[in-house]
Amino acid sequence: MIFVVALVCVLVALVFLHDYMRKSTRAWALLSKFNGDKGLPIIGNALALGFDSDGVSKILMDLWRKHGMTNYRLTVGSEEWVMLCESDDVGSILGHPTELAKPTERNAAMMPFFGNSVSTSEGERWKSTRKLMTPSFHFKTLEARVETVNSRMGALNQVLDQYVDKAPVDLYRYLRPFMFDILCNTLMGVDHNMLANPDHPYLDASGRIIKIATENYFSYWRNISFIFKLTPIYKEMMDTIKTVRGYSDKLIRERRVKLNKIIDDIKSNNRDASVDVNAFVHEKVSEQACLLDSLLLSTLPNGDPAPDETINEEITLLCFTGHYTTTMTMTHTLYCLAKYPEIQKRVLEEQESIFNNDQLRNPTNHDLIEMKYLEAVIKESIRVIPTVTKIGRQLQNELPLKDGRIIPPGTQVVVYYEALYADPKVFPEPEKYNPERFFNSMHPYAFVPFSAGPRNCIGFRYAWVAMKASLSNLLRRYEVLPGNPEDEPKFAHRIITESTNGVKLRLKKRE
């Protein structure tokens, strides 16, 4: 008994010694200049964040208000976090040329699903992959992307027409496969009709990713792998990964068959020995801007073809994020328009001014550029319901802020969108839904939903085209109305914000 008591005393002493040594460092001296709650030894503020990952968002926002609605710090286990909520300081990190590393916890949460893809990779792997992807998202390809959206609208309208003047429709259920089909056609070079099968296993599995990844991020015990592997949650995660990765393999196989035929046709039509067939193939692929072709033709530094596993990681990431984030943003915008009919009326008036008497005409990219008010509505919807709630960087060096304070190396810096977009200094009366605020000048880093700087979202132009073209077509055909009171969305601010009970709206056909 004496031995046990002595051992406990020693352990307690070591814990407090560790805490004392940590707080004696220069790093802590720098961090202590930021407001923050006092944490416990070893675990810091982890208990304050609780054990419900869907409840963390409210706790973090409460801390933001408690500490003066500005940047604040917290300690999560062995990690020091600084939540950046000021536009100038957001610019300091997002515009930094070398601080590009993603946080350890974030990568640990995402890598089981997406591997060492462009989202989590660093250094040469990240640079080479991003360079390879860039042509597929070039502004020169946008007109073709608009045409693809237009060509898919007929099938979506057929589905949605069944709900006109009837029960509310869950727009997640149909906009997700609609966007996935567009992505497969434009970036994967494969025609799939997922809209005809909204209960497809891929859609079911990908719908679980954000909840699991968010729980991975905030449930710290999951880092103890031998315990995590014994739980049913681990099995669910592995089944989800198997399904989404398996679908990526299917896309790779199907496109490889088509690409090989293209290559064979080029070779058979260019028998002149002076013609560099490989260069011609790459030129043809570049013109078509099919991302999967670029990956299939890519090589490693030693000249070997990129392994299918590497390609699978990139495709799995793009297929998921490409359709999921655009769907959430569009659906939440439609929800806001249903909630604020006077705003919806103004959107329709802008559409009528662009299309004049031909409301059935398909939009062009030029038309989309003219949709200034619709764009402001999408931005305000993102501000009110942030699609991506936070992004981060793991500092490799000191980061000086505008007010003179310094964030030390090793700190996880979090760009906290929810707080940034609720700051009354930047967005007066932030509780009000007011798209016109985006016609006023504002700090360049006050609203950065696609991030900014070297590690911004490579597909932001693609996303804007897909969202504006889809919403233009939908809003000229349907008036969107609120669903039943019991169907009010229950938004969970996970890594991506989504409603746990869908977004159910009523539709009325426009004359």
Helix (H, G, I), strand (E, B) or coil at 498: strand
Interior/surface letters 237-253, b for 16+ CB within 10 angstroms, e for the rest: beebbebbbebbeebbe
- For 103, the token pair is 């946080």
Residues in the chain: 511
CA-CA-CA-CA torsion for 114, 94, 460, 338, nearest 10 degrees?
Answer: 100
Check residue 51 and report its DSSP letter: S
Residues 156, 492: Cα–Cα separation, whole Å: 27
Residues 385, 133: Cα–Cα separation, whole Å: 29
Residue 110, C-beta contacts closer than 8 angstroms, at least 6 positions apart: 119, 120, 213
- Check: CB of residue 206 under 8 Å from CB of residue 496: no
The answer to the question of whether 457 is labelled as a binding residue is yes
Q: Please name the amino acid found at residue 457.
A: C
- Check: CB of residue 202 under 8 Å from CB of residue 194: yes
Residue 138, C-beta contacts closer than 8 angstroms, at least 6 positions apart: 289
- For 403, the token pair is 């007010």
Question: Which residues does residue 400 pair with via DSSP β-bridges, in sequence order?
Answer: 406
Q: C-alpha angle with apex 290: 285 to 291, nearest 5 degrees?
A: 110
Chain position carrying tokens 């008591």: 5
Q: Please name the amino acid found at residue 287.
A: E
Q: C-alpha angle with apex 407: 402 to 411, nearest 5 degrees?
A: 145
- Please list the helix, strand and coil fractions of the chain in percent, rounded to the nearest 5, in that order: 60, 10, 30
Q: For residue 212, how far is the Cα from the chain centroid?
A: 15
Instruction: List residues forming the annotated binding site for heme.
Output: 457
Instruction: List residues forming the annotated binding site.
Output: 457
